[in-house]
Amino acid sequence: MDIYKILQQLPHRYPFLLVDRVLAIDKGKSIRALKNVTINEPFFEGHFPHRPVMPGVLMLEALAQAAALLAFDALDTAPTNEMVYYFAGIDGARFKRPVEPGDQLILEVELLRMKVGIFKFKARALVAGELAVEAELTCAMRAIT
């Protein structure tokens, strides 16, 4: 899935779109996606000027965006103006290495459960095969009222 298809599937836009490409998707099971981390990301200006490091919460957000792509694909749907996809929980988040400009963050997400619009995922991100972050994510699709 290239960036044009991702833009059709996710409502996020610059500077908050954190998935550049989907490398593989196994319908209803797993997704492998890519985030290119570049020095011109706006968060690097303040995090940290002397040693740029990608904030951990943004690594988790990138994983959640990949999870959303997996969920939409599993349901054969796309987001609408009447629906929103929310974070509902983050469990066991562990940060194992810093992510710096020039890194390619490989996002791997596995769907553990899906029931009544609630999704549970096992997620991890790697840089050059080395674990950067891992967590279990819970997300929910909800109608906008």
- In this structure, what token pair is assigned to residue 77? 């749907």
Adjacent-strand bridge partners of 144:
none
Distance between CA atoms of residues 7 and 3, nearest Å: 6
Compute CA 62 distance to the chain's CA centroid, rounded to the nearest angstrom: 3
Q: Which of 79, 98, 85, 107 minimizes the C-alpha distance to 21?
A: 107
Residue 3, Cβ neighbours under 10 Å: how many?
12
Question: Residue 50 catalytic?
Answer: no
Name the active-site residue from 47, 53, 131, 134. Answer: 47
| Type of residue found at 69 | L
Contact (Cβ atoms closer than 8 angstroms) between residue 144 and residue 84: yes
Looking at the annotation, which residues are catalytic?
A: 47
